[in-house]
Amino acid sequence: MRESFESALADLQQSGHRLASLSGFFVDLFPITGAAVSTVGDVLGSETISASDDVAARLDELQFDLGEGPCWEAMRTVSPVLEPDFRRRGVTRWPAFAASVDQDAVASMFAFPLSLGELKIGAVDLYAASPMTLSSRECTQATAMAEVIGRHVLRDALAEFADQDAQSGAFSRRIIHQATGIVLAQLDISPDDALLMIQARAFSTGQRMMEVAQAVVDGTLRFTRTAGGMEARS
């Protein structure tokens, strides 16, 4: 019997320090064959963080090498990519990628973006060896899981960056704490996620966290929700 979504999501939220295990949550919950979690593009580089099997890892590798495929499309559009008939339609959507895939091993593919605010960092790829589709409920669940994973991956990547910036002293800590409260109120998110938004903004713009925090406190930088997620506006 497959694990319930609520149980899987609760376990996933506690698994940030075990990045290599993240793909397994999707295999346990959904009727798929395999899954992979990867960073894609320039922000964090292209790297497979977790793969449930060799086929999933190979699908990631091919997409990195060719610069096309479901993970690239999911990250670019910040939307789920669903292709239940990969063998027939994959060649039209992603010609080079589909031509390189073992058609006997992959019948359906799905991808869900990993992002936070303005940062598009990667995707979760799911594949099935036999033709299948994900229901709208399953897509909603996979999207929610990808959102949690995106925070885990980004938090891990920014840990060293944040530690270095934290050496600025007690005053910067007070400013960052104050800014975190403001972002929390602006976006109605948790304190941890509000701090992560500040870290991500600093990382993406090459600023120090204190500079971003000061702009938030001064009111010259505001975080807002948009149709595509969350973004910072000066």
pTM of the model: 0.80
Per the CB < 8 A criterion, the answer to whether 196 and 158 are in contact is yes
Share of residues in the chain with pLDDT > 70 (%): 91
Q: Predicted confidence band at 226 (pLDDT cuts at 50, 70, 90)?
A: confident
- Please tell me the least confidently modeled range out of 12-16, 44-48, 136-140, 141-145: 12-16
**What's the whole-number average pLDDT of the chain?**
88
DSSP string, the chain: -PPPHHHHHHHHHT-TT-GGGHHHHHHHHSS-SEEEEEE-STTT-SEEEEESSHHHHHHHHHHHHHT-SHHHHHHHHTS-EEETTHHHHHHHHSHHHHHHS-TTT-SEEEEEEEEETTEEEEEEEEEESS-----HHHHHHHHHHHHHHHHHHHHHHHHHHHHHHGGG-HHHHHHHHHHHHHHHHHHT--HHHHHHHHHHHHHHHT--HHHHHHHHHHTS-EEEEETTEEEEE-
Q: Is the pLDDT of residue 168 over 70?
A: no
Residue 1 pLDDT > 50: no
Asked if residues 102 and 37 have their Cβ atoms less than 8 Å apart, the reply is no
| pLDDT confidence tier of residue 45, bands split at 50, 70 and 90 | confident
Minimum mean pLDDT among 49-58, 171-180, 211-220: which range?
171-180
Going by C-alpha positions, the residue among 148, 156, 226, 220 that lies closest to residue 190 is: 148
Model pLDDT, residue 82 = 98
**Backbone CA torsion sign across 55, 124, 158, 148:** negative
> Which residues, in sequence order, are bridge partners of residue 157?
none
Residue 3 token pair: 């694990």
User: What's the pLDDT tens digit per position in 8-38?
Assistant: 999 998 887 789 999 999 999 999 999 999 9
pLDDT digit string, tens, across residues 63-114? 999 999 999 999 999 999 999 999 999 999 999 999 999 888 999 999 999 9
Q: Report residue 114: phi and psi, to 5°.
A: -110, 120
pLDDT of the residue at 37: 97
Domains by residue range for the chain, with CATH: 5-153 (3.30.450.40), 169-233 (1.10.10.10)
Res 160: pLDDT: 60
Side chain identity, residue 101? V
Of residues 14 and 229, more confidently modeled = 14
Six-digit token pair at 215?
Answer: 């702009």
